[in-house]
Amino acid sequence: MSTAAKGLEGVVAAETEMSFIDGEKGVLEYVGIAIDPLARHSTFEETVFLLWNKRLPKADELAAFSKDLRSNYGLSKETKRLIALMPTSAQPMHVLRTIVSSLALDDPDPNSTDRSAVQAKGLRILAQAPAIVAAFDRHRRGLEIIEPDSSLSFAANFLWLLNGEKPTDTMERAFDACMILHADHGLNASTFACRVIISTLSDIYSAITGAIGALRGPLHGGANEGVMVALNEVGSVGEVEDFVMGKLKRKERIMGFGHRVYKAYDPRATYLKTLAKQLAEDTGNAELYEKSSRVEQIMEREVAAKGIYPNVDFYSATTYHSIGLKLDLFTPMFALSRIAGWTGHALEQLDANRLIRPKADYVGPHDKPYVSMDKR
Site residues, ligand SDX (CB under 6 A): 7, 185-186, 188, 219-221, 223, 253-261, 306, 308, 311-313
Q: How far is the CB of 311 from ligand SDX (least distance, A)?
A: 4
Q: How far is the CB of 79 from ligand SDX (least distance, A)?
A: 27
Residue nearest to ligand SDX (CB): 258
345 is catalytic: no
Q: How far apart are CA 241 and CA 298, in angstroms?
A: 7
CB 128 within 8 A of CB 73: yes
Out of 137, 176, 203, 313, pick the active-site residue: 313
Q: How far is the CB of 312 from ligand SDX (least distance, A)?
A: 5
Q: Is the Cβ of residue 96 or residue 135 nearer to ligand SDX in the bound state?
A: 96
Q: Is the Cβ of residue 131 or residue 254 nearer to ligand SDX in the bound state?
A: 254
Q: Is the Cβ of residue 153 or residue 331 nearer to ligand SDX in the bound state?
A: 331
Q: Is the Cβ of residue 210 or residue 258 nearer to ligand SDX in the bound state?
A: 258
3-state SS record for the chain: CCCCCHHHCCCCCCCCCCEEEECCCCEEEECCEEHHHHHHHCCHHHHHHHHHHCCCCCHHHHHHHHHHHHCCCCCCHHHHHHHHHCCCCCCHHHHHHHHHHHHHHHCCCCCCCCHHHHHHHHHHHHHHHHHHHHHHHHHHCCCCCCCCCCCCCHHHHHHHHHHCCCCCHHHHHHHHHHHHHCCCCCCCHHHHHHHHHHHCCCCHHHHHHHHHHHHCCCCCCCHHHHHHHHHHHCCCHHHHHHHHHHHHHCCCCCCCECCCCCCCCCHHHHHHHHHHHHHHHHCCCHHHHHHHHHHHHHHHHHHHHHCCCECHHHHHHHHHHHHCCCHHHHHHHHHHHHHHHHHHHHHHHHHCCCCCCCCCCCCCCCCCCCCCHHHC
Q: How far is the CB of 314 from ligand SDX (least distance, A)?
A: 7
313 is catalytic: yes
Q: What is the β-pairing status of strands 33-34 and 27-30?
A: antiparallel
Identity of the residue numbered 41: H
Q: Is the Cβ of residue 215 or residue 350 nearer to ligand SDX in the bound state?
A: 215
Q: Is the Cβ of residue 79 or residue 337 nearer to ligand SDX in the bound state?
A: 337
Q: Is the Cβ of residue 162 or residue 272 nearer to ligand SDX in the bound state?
A: 272
Q: How far apart are CA 143 and CA 137, in angstroms?
A: 9
Q: How far is the CB of 176 from ligand SDX (least distance, A)?
A: 17
Q: How far is the CB of 261 from ligand SDX (least distance, A)?
A: 6
Q: How far apart are CA 102 and CA 109, in angstroms?
A: 14
Q: How far is the CB of 28 from ligand SDX (least distance, A)?
A: 9
Out of 259, 266, 321, 345, pick the active-site residue: 259
Q: How far is the CB of 19 from ligand SDX (least distance, A)?
A: 9
Q: How far apart are CA 25 and CA 65, in angstroms?
A: 34
Smallest Cα–Cα separation from 52: which of 19, 22, 21, 28? 19
Q: Is the Cβ of residue 126 or residue 161 nearer to ligand SDX in the bound state?
A: 126
> Which positions are annotated as active-site residues?
259, 313
